[in-house]
Amino acid sequence: MIAIYILWLRQLKRFIRKKTSIVGALGQPIIFLLAIGFGFGPVYAKAGGGNYIQFLAPGIIVMSVLFTSIFTGLEIIWDKQFGFLKETFVAPVFRFEILLGKTLGGATVAMIQGILVFLITLVAGFQPHLASLPLAFLFLFLVAILSSALGAAIAARLDDMQGFPLIFNFLVQPLFYLSGAIFPIKNLPPVLDVITKINPFSYGVDGLRFAFSGVNVFPPVLSLGVLCTATLIVLAFGTYQFSKVQL
Amino acid sequence: MLIAHLHPHKKYHKIQHMEYSIEIKNLTKKFGDFTAVNDISFNVKKGEVFAFLGPNGAGKTTTIKMLTTILKPSLGEVFLHGHNVIENPHQTRKSFGIVFQDPSLDNELTAYENMQFHAILYGLKKEVYQQRIISLLALVELSDRKDSYVKNFSGGMKRRLEIARGLLHNPKVLFLDEPTIGLDPQTRNHIWAYINNLNQQENVTIFFTTHHMEEVERMAKMVAIIDHGKILITGTIEEIIKKAGTKNLEDAFISLTGSNIREEAGNVSKNQMRISNKLMR
């Protein structure tokens, strides 16, 4: 278990030392808040939705956690290319522990990033229920674990970053845009309705929105259940993928 | 055949017959239709210094990867200190240390942190590893750079750090894949002296590859030469020189493996390997 700790610590150290990328990763959420948040705000209010920033903020926080987590998971590709993965794989540590250490490290890093974005949304006028902050963090952490494990599982079988645009455009972006992060998932066209309902991140966004504003589409218990189940499935898949890695 | 495995914890003051550190039987690795390692078999005794030689792309690194659990053989068996490498990789991993041919450090961590990461992965206690890291860093003359980021190290410094790291958990078998590549003669001497000492004092089995024949002559007790995935010859240095009918080991090596210059295909991906295979046909 101490192996998981040192893998986690390594991830954290690497993150904290890359200060420019921490700041850099804040750019996208800020643009989303400004352009989409304030841009669509009046339309959203006119349509009877109320305060759009209030609606959008949880979605933006999930976005930053999702992206940071997946990218940290994908860093395994770099570890492979720079040879560090070999060092980890010849050590007497189970592959499952390596996956778990990586996943927890990625999730922790993403949580830090998510909290920074949360603070920015406060500046932008977001007013969350502070009493349910622990519940919000729980949802956020589940989103972080799920996406970090997903990134690691995918990266396990990739040899270089060439597949990266494919992953980003056909997996990461759809997972975010079709999660109800930027629009309400009620009264959608049937295809979109199905997609948003099978996307586990919809439950993360919805859960977070419930914790912050008391507004929800899915019962919070269902959201928790879906996130936990999806995480277990991805971890099992990741363990299988890791067991197949040849260097 | 495998009597040795019945006594995994036996103290071995002397090399005993049938007590092998590494046993390789019919080991084969195919990448698609390219056979990188082709049905090789040999044993390495406990406490032996064994040189595994061959031109670039001969199959040395592929073999070492299979011996060290990170590449699955297509066929054959390997035992490392009695552990079946394929069936029981986890137990196997505790018994060996390795210095890879390619860099395998985390550039974003300091020298000490790289060592610490390794120590913890191998389950060393803090009291033990703190002391050992300090003395190993001193050995490879990196004490003053303990807290520097590895990304600021020269190639030689990285190499020295990797060697120190490979020794950290007191392995029973040490794999060294071209360990002295890019090192100056001073450092090479220094490191070989330490490895020699380790072998003599602690009876650590040394399995190494190199292109420096003088290192082989100075260090190795037994030698195997591999080319095109096949073992050409195994024996002591004297035996090999005698069989090849040459004056020294370097001449014997060239006479056995031919004087053509090879494409480096040691660590490239499977695809590139196939391409270089086609070029060689």
Residues of B in contact with A91 (CB under 8 A): 93, 118, 121-122
Cβ distance of A90 and B68 shorter than 8 Å: yes
Q: Give the nearest partner residue to B70 out of A14, A82, A247, using CB atoms.
A: A247
Weakest-pLDDT range from A73-82, A140-149, B52-61: A73-82
Weakest-pLDDT range from A29-33, B2-6, B82-86, B223-227: B2-6
pLDDT at A86: 94
- Shortest CA distance to A155 belongs to which of A69, A213, A221, A215? A69
Q: What mean pLDDT is predicted for residues A154-169?
A: 88
Between A88 and B12, the higher pLDDT residue:
A88
| ipTM confidence score | 0.90
Cα separation, B166 vs B119, whole angstroms: 10
Beta strands in chain B (DSSP E): 20-31, 34-45, 49-53, 75-80, 83-84, 96-99, 173-177, 205-209, 222-227, 230-235
Residues of B in contact with A244 (CB under 8 A): none
User: B263 pLDDT band (50/70/90 cuts)?
Assistant: low
* Predicted confidence (pLDDT) at residue B277 exceeds the cutoff of 60: no
Q: Give the nearest partner residue to A82 out of B70, B107, B113, using CB atoms.
A: B107
Q: Is the pTM of this model over 0.80?
A: yes
* Predicted confidence (pLDDT) at residue A160 exceeds the cutoff of 90: no
pLDDT at A159: 86
Using left for φ > 0, alpha for ψ between -120 and 50, and beta otherwise, residue B48 falls in beta
Q: Report the first-to-last Cα separation within chain B, whole angstroms.
A: 38
Cα separation, B51 vs B231, whole angstroms: 13
Name the residue of chain A whose CA is nearest to B72's CA.
A246
Q: Contact, B76 vs B70, CB < 8 A?
A: no
Kindly report the backbone phi and psi dihedral angles of residue B136, in degrees, each rounded to the nearest multiple of 5, phi listed first. -70, -35
pLDDT mean across residues, chain B? 87
* Predicted confidence (pLDDT) at residue B17 exceeds the cutoff of 80: no
* Predicted confidence (pLDDT) at residue B278 exceeds the cutoff of 50: no
User: B262 pLDDT band (50/70/90 cuts)?
Assistant: confident
Cβ distance of A13 and B113 shorter than 8 Å: yes
Residues 6+ apart with CB under 8 A from B120: A2, A3, A5, A6, B129
- How close B187 comes to chain A (CA, Å)? 23
State the SS3 of A77-115.
HHHHHCCHHHHHHCCCCCHHHHHHHHHHHHHHHHHHHHH
- Shortest CA distance to A177 belongs to which of A192, A155, A194? A192
Residues of B in contact with A247 (CB under 8 A): 65, 70-71
What CA–CA distances, in Å, run from B58 to A80, A181, B228, B260?
23, 55, 5, 13
Between A159 and B64, the higher pLDDT residue:
B64
Per the structure, the complete domain to which residue A34 belongs is given by: 2-243
Residues of B in contact with A2 (CB under 8 A): 120, 123
Cα separation, B176 vs B194, whole angstroms: 13
Between B260 and B76, the higher pLDDT residue:
B76
User: B264 pLDDT band (50/70/90 cuts)?
Assistant: low
pLDDT tens-digit map of B196-216 = 988 999 899 999 999 999 999
Residues of A in contact with B170 (CB under 8 A): none
Cα–chain-centroid distance for residue B133? 21
Cβ distance of B122 and A88 shorter than 8 Å: no
Q: Give the nearest partner residue to A247 out of B71, B94, B122, using CB atoms.
A: B71
The count of domains in chain A is 1
pLDDT at B177: 94
